[in-house]
Structure 1
Amino acid sequence: MDDEKRITLRLPQDLHAWLARQAKTSRRSLNSEIVHRLEVGRGTTVADDETP
């Protein structure tokens, strides 16, 4: 990422826990997992198991 924007994000506790588990399984930070899933959702990442 060339340009980054810091935000505060509020998540339900169960969603946070799920994302944290997914990040650990994928060997990503929680931030990288969220960014990856957003990129996949908008079609900018080829495979779901790619590391951003």
Structure 2
Amino acid sequence: MKPMLSSRPVLWFLFLFNLAVAAVAPFVVDGDQGVMTSVGMGVVSLGAGVSLLRTRG
């Protein structure tokens, strides 16, 4: 499972998909649930982005 999650296409998918969901969630889901969804997806997106920067080059 770890080699699959470390591949660049999967990291790009996690980064972009979670970033898009984090940006849209507060407008689609009302209240605290939308904010917490946005924060959670943002954390996953940042983690994937950091992994992309580490494996660059």
TM-score by length of 2: 0.33
- Please state which structure has a larger fraction of its residues in helix: 2
Larger Rg: 2
Q: Relative contact order (alpha carbons < 8 A, sep ≥ 6): 1 or 2 greater?
A: 2
TM-score by length of 1: 0.35
